[in-house]
């Protein structure tokens, strides 16, 4: 019995000394996403505030925002690329 305890203790101490898995490098895409969101925020603030007060993106869910964005795109005369930037920002913050 004593030899089993010694063997288990040896195995556990050997496992404790083993190296950990290397941490994977962070993807380089994170700054691009942040830039895209920042551009969308700027578009949202500069275009939408011209006609009305700005609602916080957290005020609505994505499902609630979608018809609002479709309607506002026509009124603000925003092209699809501009609206995509705004949508990216709003959806990143929506509840």
Q: Quick check: is 19 in a domain?
A: no
Asked whether residue 13 is domain-assigned, the answer is no
Q: pLDDT tens per residue, the chain (95 residues)?
A: 778 777 776 666 766 676 666 666 655 555 667 899 999 999 999 999 899 999 999 999 999 999 999 999 999 999 999 999 999 999 999 99
15 domain residue, yes or no: no
- How distant is the alpha carbon of residue 59 from its chain centre? 17
Q: What is the 3-state secondary structure (H, E, C) of 37-80?
A: HHHHHHHHHHHHCCCCCCCCHHHCCHHHHHHHHHHHHHHHCCCH
Structurally, the chain folds into a number of domains equal to: 1
Tell me if 50 is assigned to some domain.
Answer: yes
pLDDT score recorded for residue 74? 94
> Helices 29-43 & 80-93, crossing angle to 10 degrees?
110
Judge whether 89 lies within some domain. yes
Q: Is 6 helix (H, G, I), strand (E, B) or coil?
A: helix
Q: Output the six-digit token pair for 95.
A: 């509840």
In a domain, residue 1? The reply is no
Kindly state whether residue 55 falls inside one of the protein's structural domains: yes
d(CA 72, CA 38): 20
Dist CA 18 CA 14 (whole Å): 7
Provide the 3-class DSSP secondary structure of residue 26: coil
Q: Classify residue 76: in a domain, yes or no.
A: yes
The domain in which residue 44 lies consists of 28-93
């Amino acid at each position: 019995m004593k030899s089993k305890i010694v063997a288990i203790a040896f195995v556990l101490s050997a496992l404790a000394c083993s190296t950990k898995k290397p941490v994977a490098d962070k993807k380089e895409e994170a700054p691009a996403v942040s830039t895209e969101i920042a551009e969308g925020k700027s578009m949202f603030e500069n275009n939408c505030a011209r006609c009305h007060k700005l609602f916080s993106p957290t005020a609505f869910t994505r499902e609630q925002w979608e018809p609002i964005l479709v309607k506002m795109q026509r009124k603000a005369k925003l092209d699809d690329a501009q609206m995509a930037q705004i949508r990216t920002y709003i959806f990143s913050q929506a509840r």
